[in-house]
Structure 1
Amino acid sequence: MLSVIIDEAASLNKIISPFSKGSLSITHLLFADDVLLFAKASVLSAKGINDCFTRFMQCSGLEVNLNKSEVFFSEGDSRCKGAIKDTLNIPQGSLPIKYLGLPLITSRLSAADCAPLISKIHRRIAPWSNRLLSRAGRVELTKSILNSFHPYWAASFHLPASILGKIEKIFRDFIWAGPSLHKSYHPIAWDTICTPKAEGGLGLRKLKDLNKAADMKQIWSIIKKKNSLWVSWFHHKYVRKRNFWIIKNPSKMSWGARTIFNCREEVKKSICYIIGEGKGIDLWTQPWHPDGPIVEQYPPDGEYLNAIRPKTYVHQVLQEGIWDPIMLQRLPSINLILEKALVISSAEDEAIWKDTIDGSFSLKSAWNGIREHHSKIAWASSKRNNRLQGADKSHKQVILRNILHTIRSRCIFLRLDSQTGSRDLAFSKAIDLPLFRSQKPTKSCKWVHPEPGCVKLNCDASLASSSASIGGLLRTNDSLVLAMYSQDKIQMSIQELELEPICHGASLASSLDIDRL
């Protein structure tokens, strides 16, 4: 009811909207029992707002609580502000204020504006201080709970890099030190952790990439012309029926709009169009082609400028799904490019997202397109729960070889000397593990064979000033090397260090179904 009353007052010019672009005029926004009213700073608009409140009270029996209301002004004459406050009888407030969990601001988002986000993450971690959480548990809590606060803000703001750094520091400290967040040693780089598990990471995502993916989602809403007041406002204020992809950044624009325009090149790589009528789609500059804008594919020799006007739309050279033969005759080399175009005659042009199966946008696909990619680890495709139990011998050897191939740079080097056997050389060649010749004379040590049918574990540990390392080797009675392992940068007591290589070797033997060790 109140919305209808305000619209009627605006149509009679009793309330003059400060945001009026063509047919779009914004006078108020409603959410639950909250109302935001927008009007030009004039006594006339203030009286119109009072009349709307009075009418609403007469029709509904509800009265606006002026004590819980505030009026905000832009820069202007102080005498006019005083007259408006006296007319409305509402106290003056100051920005920023918190609305729907986000700050309402008129300038660029600062680090101080994001303080509530940092505080909210700290408050969420505090109740976990009395719980015994494993490191794997803390990783899952980071992914499922702590990482859920940022996307809500990123959907509305491009967060500053300093804030993203602070949030990621909280994540790192929580994973490695626990809820206390005290300073601790981080043995693995954050860039490595923030990669998919198939690439050797823990499945977390860099907030910088997620921030940019959120900006790409806003561009997707703009080009799809989603039914949104914000999208309509953006088109009326900045696009104005022009080609969104080649518009120069307006000299006067908000900080949020500037971040959107600066993100267009990233979106171009993942966008193409299904051509129907071809109206409003620039033949040369828009990313309607699956391989990107044609101007970027065509040889930069100026041939097309002489053959066809630079400002040419697709519908001018496409009739009922058939390309203009005159254009093809003038530009023979363009024929191969146009063969890949997606054309459906007598239909509306539709933008599709190339990185998803159904052509719709998703934050995951956008993030995957802009993140840094690494090579997949060799054994990532094997089933997660298959720990070599119940598999045949050949399958065990394949998986074991793949695992050792992945970690060979950290593995114990086989020593090449006079006692190196042919089986050692064959094993080294099979897993691509380099041999090296010892530069220092080594003390001769006789290896005692285990009983037939048994496997022997030889292991050791070394302690340096700041960290320790362990390693071990599994061999059969006939000296065949079954597996080897090593681990460095370990921090533990001497007593634990003596036991660690034995436990590690026993676990490896168990995974290989070795019951006589």
Structure 2
Amino acid sequence: MKACVKLDLRKAYDTVNRDFLCHLMAAMGFSETWVDRVRECITSPTFSVLIQGIPYGFFGRSRGLRQGDPLSPYLFTLVMEYFTCLMDIAVHRERIVPIYSRVSPVVSHLIYADDLLVLLRPSMRGMRELAAVMEEFGQLSGLRLNRDKSKVYFSSSCTLKEERALELGVEKGDLPVKYLGVPLSVNYAKDRDCQSLVDFAQRRVEGWQAAGLSFGGRIELVRSVISAIALFWLQSIMVPLATIRKIEGICAKFIWHGGIHAISWEQLCRPRKEGGVGLRSLVSVREATGIKLAWRFLQGDSLWSAWMTSRYLRGRNFWVCEIDNNFSVSFKHILRNRPVLRTAMRRRMREGGETDLWLDPWISGQSLLEILGPQRDGVAYRGLTCRHIIRGGVWRPEAYRFTAPLGEEIRQVQITPTALSDVWIWAPPGRSLGAGEFRFSSCYDLVRTHFDDIEEYDLSGGKGLPGKCNCLYTNWCWAGYLLGTDCFGSEFLSLTLSVFYVRQRLNPLGTCSFSAMWRGASGQSRAGDTWEGLEGSVTSEKSLSGLVIAGARSRAGLGVLD
């Protein structure tokens, strides 16, 4: 039997007992001077209220921390550390039995700010003891349990669920449950579980007045708001493809203001130099987040990584472990990303004791077993590390009678003689090794579809122009692509000039902003400018869009590109 308890604290920041906080800091070893300074910071503020626009009175408060104060999150973390101490004592005395196996780390609870998850075996005694821990914590710290918003979730094998929930004093809930903004479930997230993400995107675009925004403005809103929230979800759970398609459809409809989609979503999601507007395809982002998850797992520096390793690998090598039906959805996703991951990683060798000699891909993304194939001379694969062929910080591949070409390739792997462990570094193709730090942009570049660079991008100057001009230029590029022939291009040119003429009909050509851009691109003088002669000045070497972009660069002081 297993249970997960989601606990909600009532008005967390506003009810912290200040005296308890100061005593706790002193018990943790903070100096008396530092404790006094913190006490002064949290007790000195006073407040006033506005009544019909007029401020009245200044009064203090006897408890709580100010929200928005940069010091408050750190002080609140210290208060929650006391809850961790109470839980650790209860687990050590076996009053509460957490969920763990013989080889996995003990995880009794998770805390993020004032959001608590407690994982335990839901015996009657365990539920009573957890209620006692929360009561003691509330009396001392001032942080009381909000029983109306707290829930307990039981596994399917658990019996007497209502009675066990009654012992804790909270209601029984049903999965999936939302935690930190994303749904948690024991199974693969379904489309209906992620409907709140679709609803969020729909509410956002309905609140924005698309008619009053430029094309570039709508692109920027999609990139900075909807895509950012979707990225948060994708880095947390496996969002179904059906949900992603719905969100992309909402974004595309908003960008084109409900009209005809002149450019497809896939083309908009290309980089600017490839003819797009720089948006990211959420389908490709979904694949990239899986690679990022696998990268974090290999780093092995987190409680999550240690728990997953002990739970699923159990002594097996990550690179050759076969996918088991008993693995979780997230771990299966990690293993499926191994082929792409090994092309973007390199092993930074130090002592060699943490690198499997035969199974780890430490030679240009390949393992010795892949290079040599299964050996028939009784070579033992297990237990051998690269330390066995390193002597004095130098490779000694002749110890295992490797062939000369392979031995030379092994010597190309650089050794950094330190007492630290071997590590994986991020080194995707086409990028310098640098510090080997992970970059999501390069991870996304690994999985997205690549296209040829467009020649017009060099003419526009790429990042030299504002985003609004780049979006307009993208529209023109695709319009020219669709028109195709010179005769259609000529008609498009005439139409464009007519539009400019209508908009500038009250201004002579020599004084309008369009003519100034045109002169900057074509080198014409102000004298003799006419609308009739303007169309004839366009040659086959430069398109209308190219001339206008070049003129805009000239006016902005960026110079005209050759």
* TM-score strictly above 0.5: yes
Q: Name the SS of the counterpart of 2:171 in structure 1.
A: coil
Query: What CA deviation, in whole Å up to 9, does each residue of 1:408-427 have, x standing for no partner?
Result: 9965459xxxxxxxxxxxxx
**Structure 2 CA distance, aligned partners of 1:208 and 1:142?**
15
2:254 aligned partner, one-letter code: F
Q: Does 1:233 align with 2:307?
A: yes
> Residues 411 and 484 of structure 1 are in contact (CA less than 8 Å); yes or no, is this contact kept in structure 2?
no
> Residues 290 and 340 of structure 1 are in contact (CA less than 8 Å); yes or no, is this contact kept in structure 2?
no
Cα 1:185–1:345 change in 2 (3 A) is: same
Aligned to 1:371: 448
Aligned to 2:222: 142
**Structure 1 CA distance, aligned partners of 2:552 and 2:529?**
13
Cα 1:98–1:510 change in 2 (3 A) is: closer
1:67 aligned partner, one-letter code: D
> Residues 128 and 167 of structure 2 are in contact (CA less than 8 Å); yes or no, is this contact kept in structure 1?
yes
Aligned to 2:85: 4
1:249 aligned partner, one-letter code: I
| Structure 1 position 195, deviation (Å) | 1.1
Q: Does 1:154 align with 2:231?
A: no
| Structure 1 position 313, deviation (Å) | 2.3
| Structure 1 position 328, deviation (Å) | 6.6
**Structure 1 CA distance, aligned partners of 2:358 and 2:548?**
62
1:319 aligned partner, one-letter code: R
| Structure 1 position 176, deviation (Å) | 1.2
Aligned to 2:163: 83
Aligned to 1:331: 403
Q: Name the SS of the counterpart of 2:404 in structure 1.
A: coil
Greater mean alpha carbon deviation, residues 106-115 or residues 124-133: 124-133
**Structure 1 CA distance, aligned partners of 2:481 and 2:143?**
75
**Structure 2 CA distance, aligned partners of 1:39 and 1:509?**
67
| Structure 1 position 136, deviation (Å) | 2.0
Correspondence list, 1:350-429, <5 A: 350-355=423-428, 357-381=434-458, 383-384=461-462, 412=485
The unaligned stretches of length 5 or more in structure 1 are 388-402, 415-452, 460-471, 476-480, 487-503
**Structure 1 CA distance, aligned partners of 2:92 and 2:128?**
15
| Structure 1 position 188, deviation (Å) | 2.0
1:51 aligned partner, one-letter code: A
| Structure 1 position 305, deviation (Å) | 5.2
> Residues 161 and 172 of structure 2 are in contact (CA less than 8 Å); yes or no, is this contact kept in structure 1?
no
| Structure 1 position 68, deviation (Å) | 3.4
> Residues 307 and 330 of structure 1 are in contact (CA less than 8 Å); yes or no, is this contact kept in structure 2?
no
Aligned to 2:353: 279
1:211 aligned partner, one-letter code: R
Correspondence list, 1:66-465, <5 A: 66-76=147-157, 78=159, 80-129=160-209, 132-177=212-257, 182=258, 184-226=259-301, 228-296=302-370, 298=371, 306=377, 308-311=379-382, 312-327=384-399, 329-347=401-419, 348-355=421-428, 357-381=434-458, 383-384=461-462, 412=485
> Residues 18 and 38 of structure 1 are in contact (CA less than 8 Å); yes or no, is this contact kept in structure 2?
yes
Cα 1:218–1:507 change in 2 (3 A) is: closer
The unaligned stretches of length 5 or more in structure 2 are 1-81, 466-475, 488-526, 555-562
**Structure 1 CA distance, aligned partners of 2:546 and 2:324?**
65
Higher strand share: 1
**Structure 1 CA distance, aligned partners of 2:392 and 2:485?**
68
| Structure 1 position 241, deviation (Å) | 4.4
Aligned to 1:45: 126
Greater mean alpha carbon deviation, residues 16-25 or residues 305-314: 305-314
| Structure 1 position 26, deviation (Å) | 1.5
Cα 1:59–1:512 change in 2 (3 A) is: closer
**Structure 2 CA distance, aligned partners of 1:307 and 1:8?**
51
> Residues 194 and 204 of structure 1 are in contact (CA less than 8 Å); yes or no, is this contact kept in structure 2?
yes
**Structure 2 CA distance, aligned partners of 1:141 and 1:39?**
43
2:427 aligned partner, one-letter code: K
Q: Name the SS of the counterpart of 1:285 in structure 2.
A: coil
Query: What CA deviation, in whole Å up to 9, does each residue of 1:200-239 have, x standing for no partner?
Result: 111111111111111111111111113x332222122123
| Structure 1 position 14, deviation (Å) | 0.9
Higher helix share: 2
| Structure 1 position 368, deviation (Å) | 0.7
**Structure 2 CA distance, aligned partners of 1:257 and 1:325?**
35
**Structure 2 CA distance, aligned partners of 1:512 and 1:235?**
55
**Structure 2 CA distance, aligned partners of 1:49 and 1:334?**
60
Aligned to 1:429: none
Aligned to 2:513: none
**Structure 2 CA distance, aligned partners of 1:131 and 1:324?**
70
**Structure 1 CA distance, aligned partners of 2:386 and 2:223?**
45
Q: Name the SS of the counterpart of 2:152 in structure 1.
A: coil
**How many residues were matched structurally?**
416
> Residues 455 and 474 of structure 1 are in contact (CA less than 8 Å); yes or no, is this contact kept in structure 2?
no
Query: What CA deviation, in whole Å up to 9, does each residue of 1:75-118 have, x standing for no partner?
Result: 2353x324323422322222222222111222110111111111
> Residues 273 and 351 of structure 1 are in contact (CA less than 8 Å); yes or no, is this contact kept in structure 2?
yes
> Residues 20 and 26 of structure 1 are in contact (CA less than 8 Å); yes or no, is this contact kept in structure 2?
no
> Structure 2 length normalisation: TM-score?
0.66
The higher relative CO (CA closer than 8 Å, separation ≥ 6) is in 2
**Structure 2 CA distance, aligned partners of 1:63 and 1:104?**
25
**Structure 1 CA distance, aligned partners of 2:280 and 2:237?**
18
| Structure 1 position 284, deviation (Å) | 3.4
| Structure 1 position 168, deviation (Å) | 0.9
Query: What CA deviation, in whole Å up to 9, does each residue of 1:2-49 have, x standing for no partner?
Result: 221121111111111123453611222223333322221211212322
1:112 aligned partner, one-letter code: R
**Structure 2 CA distance, aligned partners of 1:87 and 1:71?**
11
**Structure 1 CA distance, aligned partners of 2:385 and 2:455?**
48
Q: Of the two, which has the highest radius of gyration?
A: 1
**Structure 2 CA distance, aligned partners of 1:221 and 1:310?**
26
Cα 1:386–1:57 change in 2 (3 A) is: closer
**Structure 1 CA distance, aligned partners of 2:387 and 2:110?**
39
Superposed CA RMSD in Å reads 3.5
1:193 aligned partner, one-letter code: L
> Structure 1 length normalisation: TM-score?
0.71
Cα 1:310–1:71 change in 2 (3 A) is: closer
> Residues 273 and 462 of structure 2 are in contact (CA less than 8 Å); yes or no, is this contact kept in structure 1?
no
Cα 1:306–1:195 change in 2 (3 A) is: farther
| Structure 1 position 148, deviation (Å) | 0.9
